Structure 1
Amino acid sequence: MKIIKFGGSSLTDAISYHRVKDILLREKEDKVLVLSAMQGITKKLQKAIRTALKDEDEVECIIKEITKKHQIVATQAIRDTEILSDILERIEKKMKRLERLLYGINYTEEVTAKSRDMILSFGERLSVHIMEGIFRAEGIKSRAMEADEIGIITDGEFGNATADLKHTRKNLKKTIGQELDRGVIPVVTGFFGQSKDGYTTLFGFGGSDYTAGIIAYSLDSNVVEVWKDVDGFMSADPKLVSQAHFIDRLSYAEAAELAYFGAKILHPRIVQPLEPKGIPIVIKNAYNPDRTGTVIEKEGYQREDVIKSVAYTRDIGVIKIEGVGVGCKPGVLSFMASTVSEHGINIKSVITAQTSINFIVDMEDLEECYKLLRKKHSSAVEEVVKMEDEALIGIVGEGMSVTRGLAARVFSAIAEEHVNVDMISYGASKVAFYLIVKGKYIERAVKAIHKEFFKV
């Protein structure tokens, strides 16, 4: 059995939905399709939340815009008038519910974590019903299945939930399993699940990959295919390094680190449910389906020159917490980290020294994190500094922890380009280390490191 997942970049219009259908029908074995929202819809829903808080009159415009987009795609894609009528009715019902939620935000002048997660789940809820309609219009048995209706159970953390694999497995064996037994193609919403209390909880942005992993674990799938608009992982971002080459195979750990460091191809959490059973992941290109994509497996291999890829992200900021002895005084780090996490901010990494604690956070969280720590900090803290113009470079490859001289080669390569390293973290992972440089130097640094290890 295959679990096949398509993201928003592959779901843009009626043609792309039919492309998904055609790819599914190439597969003769049992399969479950996991879908993200149509491209751009989750961002529109985020905007809808912000707008609803400020302007009641704009709610109707937002609803009309999102409704029209889905109606157009459904009308163009579903080639049976009776089935189309059914799907359009479902879209209308869901949009009415979304409208009530947005007006509720306007009336209460408040967005709760619970309401945010529910609203942001609507893109996936709409997407799967359009796909069901396309299959049915072609005479193919299919059923749209929303995660909170079929028993994908979570720990209840809004915005960044984790699946309860034991209970979810039991539920999906029944709900999805019986559809497969009937020869039906289940089309399942990605991105969210349901808490034990019955609330919709998101897996975080990009979390549809995680959903595919959860289903694969629950149904003992033999592979997960993640379909994108690229062939797979590369040795560097080809937008920066034109000579970057395709990577045919990675380990779970390597793929997870590359995703964490900014390679947007895969969500790092997909590995968690797959690792216990060693279920492989294959990255496939929806626009070139015959191309062999990157295969990601439990066990990796060591490249002769160790490094397989250089990833980067500009989407980070650094908070420096300074003071004599802050790095060794008991309780300072835990107090500051708790202060941040209580407000839903994820700390990507921590680098400590005797006189400084450094939190690396997403750029969107930087300002709030800075304000929180300036307002509420330990007496040992003398100053809290915000660093905005920073970029993170991740260097990834099996064998890194047992190969001498890699860091020295990296430093020498970027030093020749007159790039200074602001911070480094080495040893936390067996397959990766990262460094932070000024954002304006990112292109020079990535190119220099790639040239050192790949000679191009």
Structure 2
Amino acid sequence: MKVIKIGGGCLKNGKAARAIVDLIAQKGLGQIFVLSAFGGITDMLIHGIDTALQNEAGIVPTIEEMTQHHHHIIDELMDVTPHAGQLKEELESFFLTLERYYYGISFTREATPRMKDIIASYGERISAVIISRVLESRGCRSEFLMPDVAGIITDGKYMDATADMTRTRDNLYPLIRSIMDERKMLFIPGFFGKSRDGEITTFGRGGSDYSAAVVAAAVDAEVLEIWKDTEGFMTADPDNIPDCRLIPELTYEEAAELSYTGAGILHARTVEPARKAGIGISIRNTFNPEAPGSMITDHARTTDRVIKSVSYTTDISVLKIFASGVGARYGILSQITDTLARDAVNIKSVVTSQTGISLLLARDDLDRSFNALKQVKPRPFRKMQKVSGVALVSIVGEGLHRNRGIAAKCFTAVSQAKVNIEMISFGTSNAALYFLVKERDLDQTINSLHSTFFD
């Protein structure tokens, strides 16, 4: 039995969803599918919360827009048959419930993390119902199973939950084995589970990939397939390097590092459940299903080229904190990180010296972090400096730290591109080397590195 994740990019509109449904009808018997919301729906749901907080008059138009969006998809998939009308009626209860939630938010003037997670889960709920019913209308044996009903248990953290794998496996393994057979297909919404107290909690934006890995590990799937609208992991971003090449095999560590630096193929947390269960992850192109794709395992073949890919993210900024004797004074770092944790800021990385601390943050978190630390009394540092307009570049390949000359080759290539490196971080990974450059220098940096390692 496979677990197959279908992402929002493959469900971006009715036409794309129809291609997916055709593919599922051909290849889906006996498999479990974990679905994202249809393209744009999660943003619509979150925007609805903002609308409800501002003016309740905007609630009905928001629900109508959402309803019409899904109705258009249903009409595309079912050709306006009687089945389409029945499905639209079935979905009315979902939209009525959402409407009540929005009015509740408008009345209380508060959108709690609990309510945000409940509302955000509806995109995946609806997509699972639609895809399952469409295939049922074609004569397939198809069911959907909601994660809270299936018993996907989380640690209870709103908007950034982690699955409790022991409890989830205890619930899901016997249930799936009792209802699945080789002539049936099962659809499970991704993105959320429930806490031990029964509260809906989401795995964070893009968390449906992680959901699929959790399900795959819990049911002992033979493989986790991620169906995307791309060929797989590449040696660089095709937008930067049009002639970049497919990476046929990667290790779990390499895939995790590439996910972190913006490859856009996998959610960064997807690898861990699959790695622990020893399940391979196969990236497949839904628009070219016979293509080889990329395979992620613990024993990917090595090649003469240690470096597998050059990657980057521009969602990065630096908050520099200047304080004397950082290495000789206890408590400074914990005081800083605790302050930011209370403001729900995720610190991507920390680089320290004897005279300061550099925090690598998402761009949207830079000002919020600066303002939060300004409030610390007594202040354990002299001053702070915000650094924006930078990009985090990485070269990724298992064992690069054990191969002499890789770092020198990397930095020589950057120097030859006449680019200055702002900061270097080897980190604890055996598969990646990170450094910062000015965003304006990103294209020449990536081109020079790719030419050096792959031409």
Q: How does 1:317-336 map to 2 (within 5 A)?
A: 317-336=317-336
1:158 counterpart SS class: coil
The alpha carbon displacement at 1:357 in A equals 0.8
The alpha carbon displacement at 1:12 in A equals 2.3
Structure 1 81/175 Cα, relative in aligned 2: closer, same or farther at 3 Å? farther
323-332 or 200-209, which deviates more: 323-332
Task: Give the aligned partner of residue 273 of structure 2.
Answer: 273
Task: Give the aligned partner of residue 163 of structure 1.
Answer: 163
Name the CA distance, whole Å, in 2 between partners of 1:332 and 1:49.
Answer: 38
**Contact 1:6–1:226, Cα closer than 8 Å, also in 2:** yes
TM value normalised by structure 2? 0.96
Task: Give the aligned partner of residue 215 of structure 1.
Answer: 215
Task: Give the aligned partner of residue 383 of structure 2.
Answer: 383
Residue by residue, what CA displacement relative to the aligned partner does 1:273-292 show, whole Å, maximum 9, x if unpaired? Answer: 11123111110111111111
1:268 counterpart SS class: coil
Task: Give the aligned partner of residue 203 of structure 1.
Answer: 203
Task: Give the aligned partner of residue 399 of structure 1.
Answer: 399
Q: How does 1:114-193 map to 2 (within 5 A)?
A: 114-181=114-181, 183-193=183-193
Counterpart code for 1:137: S
Name the CA distance, whole Å, in 2 between partners of 1:28 and 1:15.
Answer: 19
Structure 1 187/428 Cα, relative in aligned 2: closer, same or farther at 3 Å? same
Structure 1 256/190 Cα, relative in aligned 2: closer, same or farther at 3 Å? same
The alpha carbon displacement at 1:81 in A equals 4.3
Residue by residue, what CA displacement relative to the aligned partner does 1:327-364 show, whole Å, maximum 9, x if unpaired? Answer: 44211111111111122211111111111111111112
14-23 or 174-183, which deviates more: 174-183
103-112 or 15-24, which deviates more: 15-24
**Contact 2:390–2:438, Cα closer than 8 Å, also in 1:** yes
Task: Give the aligned partner of residue 364 of structure 1.
Answer: 364
Q: How does 1:16-35 map to 2 (within 5 A)?
A: 16-27=16-27, 30-35=30-35
- Identity across matched positions, percent: 39
Structure 1 30/303 Cα, relative in aligned 2: closer, same or farther at 3 Å? same
TM value normalised by structure 1? 0.96
Name the CA distance, whole Å, in 1 between partners of 2:450 and 2:392.
Answer: 15
Name the CA distance, whole Å, in 2 between partners of 1:139 and 1:387.
Answer: 58
Q: How does 1:206-245 map to 2 (within 5 A)?
A: 206-245=206-245
Residue by residue, what CA displacement relative to the aligned partner does 1:115-143 show, whole Å, maximum 9, x if unpaired? Answer: 11111111101101110111110111111
Structure 1 378/175 Cα, relative in aligned 2: closer, same or farther at 3 Å? farther
Name the CA distance, whole Å, in 1 between partners of 2:77 and 2:29.
Answer: 25
Name the CA distance, whole Å, in 2 between partners of 1:136 and 1:299.
Answer: 39
Task: Give the aligned partner of residue 37 of structure 2.
Answer: 37
Name the CA distance, whole Å, in 2 between partners of 1:378 and 1:446.
Answer: 43
**Contact 1:78–1:133, Cα closer than 8 Å, also in 2:** no
Determine whether 1:5 maps to 2:5. yes
Name the CA distance, whole Å, in 2 between partners of 1:126 and 1:133.
Answer: 11
Counterpart code for 1:225: E
Task: Give the aligned partner of residue 253 of structure 2.
Answer: 253
**Contact 1:148–1:194, Cα closer than 8 Å, also in 2:** yes
Name the CA distance, whole Å, in 2 between partners of 1:288 and 1:233.
Answer: 15
The alpha carbon displacement at 1:16 in A equals 2.4
**Contact 2:29–2:183, Cα closer than 8 Å, also in 1:** no
Q: How does 1:72-151 map to 2 (within 5 A)?
A: 72-78=72-78, 81-151=81-151
Name the CA distance, whole Å, in 1 between partners of 2:388 and 2:22.
Answer: 45
**Contact 2:30–2:182, Cα closer than 8 Å, also in 1:** no
Name the CA distance, whole Å, in 2 between partners of 1:267 and 1:299.
Answer: 21
Structure 1 344/90 Cα, relative in aligned 2: closer, same or farther at 3 Å? farther
Task: Give the aligned partner of residue 449 of structure 1.
Answer: 449
Counterpart code for 1:354: Q
The alpha carbon displacement at 1:26 in A equals 3.0
Segments of structure 1 that go 5 or more residues without pairing to the other structure are: none
Name the CA distance, whole Å, in 2 between partners of 1:50 and 1:405.
Answer: 52
Residue by residue, what CA displacement relative to the aligned partner does 1:48-99 show, whole Å, maximum 9, x if unpaired? Answer: 2222211211111111111110011113313584533332123211111111
**Contact 2:25–2:135, Cα closer than 8 Å, also in 1:** no
**Contact 2:30–2:181, Cα closer than 8 Å, also in 1:** no
Residue by residue, what CA displacement relative to the aligned partner does 1:274-332 show, whole Å, maximum 9, x if unpaired? Answer: 11231111101111111110011112343323111011011111111111123442111
**Contact 1:327–1:333, Cα closer than 8 Å, also in 2:** no
Determine whether 1:293 maps to 2:293. yes
1:269 counterpart SS class: coil
The alpha carbon displacement at 1:201 in A equals 0.8
229-238 or 20-29, which deviates more: 20-29
2:68 counterpart SS class: helix
1:156 counterpart SS class: coil
Segments of structure 2 that go 5 or more residues without pairing to the other structure are: none
**Contact 1:326–1:381, Cα closer than 8 Å, also in 2:** no
Counterpart code for 2:142: S
Task: Give the aligned partner of residue 71 of structure 2.
Answer: 71
The alpha carbon displacement at 1:28 in A equals 6.8
Name the CA distance, whole Å, in 1 between partners of 2:451 and 2:377.
Answer: 44
Count of aligned pairs: 455
Counterpart code for 2:436: I
Task: Give the aligned partner of residue 347 of structure 1.
Answer: 347
**Contact 1:48–1:62, Cα closer than 8 Å, also in 2:** yes
The alpha carbon displacement at 1:371 in A equals 1.1
Counterpart code for 1:292: P
Name the CA distance, whole Å, in 2 between partners of 1:30 and 1:377.
Answer: 60
Counterpart code for 2:340: V
1:216 counterpart SS class: helix
The alpha carbon displacement at 1:377 in A equals 5.9
